[in-house]
A and B are shown apart, each in its own frame.
Chain A
Amino acid sequence: MVDSDKKEFRKRDFLYVIPLWLLSLIVPDADDLYSYRSKEFKRRELFYLGALLLLPLIWRDPHFHHLMVLGGIYAILALGLSLFLGYAGQISLGHAAFFGIGAYTTAILTTRYGFPPFLAFWISPFIAAVAAYLIGRPILKLKGYFLAIATLGFGEIFQVIVRESTALTGGVIGIFDIPFLAVGGFTFDTYLKQYYLTWGLLLGLFLYSKNLVRSKMGRAFLAVAASEEAASTIGINVTQTKLGVFVIGAAFAGFAGSLFASIMSIANPEAFSLNLSVLIVIMVILGGMGNLYGPIFVSVLLTWLVDILGKYQAWSLPIYGVILILLLIFFPDGIGSRLGMRLIYLISYWSKKKRREEGKV
Chain B
Amino acid sequence: MDSWTYIPQLLASGITVGAIYALVALGFVTITRACQIINFAQGEFVMLGGLLTFFLLKDLTPSYPLAASIAIGIVVMVGFLMYLSVIYPLRKAPMLIPLIATLGASIFLSNTSGLLFGTLPKALPPFSGEHPFQMLGVSVLPQSLWVLGATFLLLALLYLLSHRTFLGKAMEASSTDPLGADLVGISRNRMVFLAFGVSAGTGAIAGILITPVFFTSYNSGTILGLKGFIAAVLGGWGKNTGAILGGFVLGILEALSVAFIPAGYKDAVAFAILLLILYFRPKGILGSPFVDSRRW
Contact = CB atoms under 8 A, between A and B. Distances in A.
Q: Are A and B in contact, CB atoms below 8 Å, in the complex?
A: yes
Given A281-B100, A329-B101, A318 B267 contact: no
Given A150-B275, A153-B271, A160-B268, A142 B96 contact: no
Contacts of A150: 274-275, 278-279
B262 A285 contact: no
Interface stretch (A234-242, A247-255, A302-310, A320-328): A320-328
A182 B153 CA distance: 65
8 contacts: A138-B279, A142-B282, A145-B95, A146-B282, A149-B38, A156-B226, A164-B265, A321-B107
A172 to B, nearest CB: 10
Contacts of A285: 96-97, 100
A149 B96 contact: no
A153 B90 contact: no
Contact of A328 (B90, B264, B265, B274): B90
A349 to B, nearest CB: 19
Contact of B100 (A153, A282, A315): A282
B267 A156 contact: yes
B262 A154 contact: no
Chain A interface size band reads 35 or more
A174 interface: no
Nearest to B115: A314
A239 to B, nearest CB: 14
| Most chain A beta carbons < 10 A, residue from B85, B107, B265, B282 | B107
A275 B222 CA distance: 11
B104 A325 contact: yes
Interface residues of B, number: 39
Given A149-B229, A315-B115, A144 B296 contact: yes
A161 B268 contact: yes
Interface in A156-194: 156-157, 160-161, 163-164
A91 interface: yes
Given A146-B278, A154-B275, A332-B90, A278 B100 contact: yes
A317 interface: yes
Main secondary structure on A side of the interface with B? helix
B104 A278 contact: yes
Contacts of B222: 274
A295 B262 CA distance: 41
A44 to B, nearest CB: 28
Interface in B64-88: 85-86
B137 interface: no
Interface in B86-124: 86, 89-90, 93-97, 99-101, 103-105, 107-108, 111-112, 115
Contact of B108 (A142, A156, A325): A325
By Cβ-Cβ distance, the 9 closest A-B pairs, closest first, are: A321-B108, A160-B268, A153-B271, A164-B264, A317-B111, A153-B274, A332-B93, A318-B112, A157-B271
Contact of A157 (B38, B105, B233, B268): B268
B107 A275 contact: yes
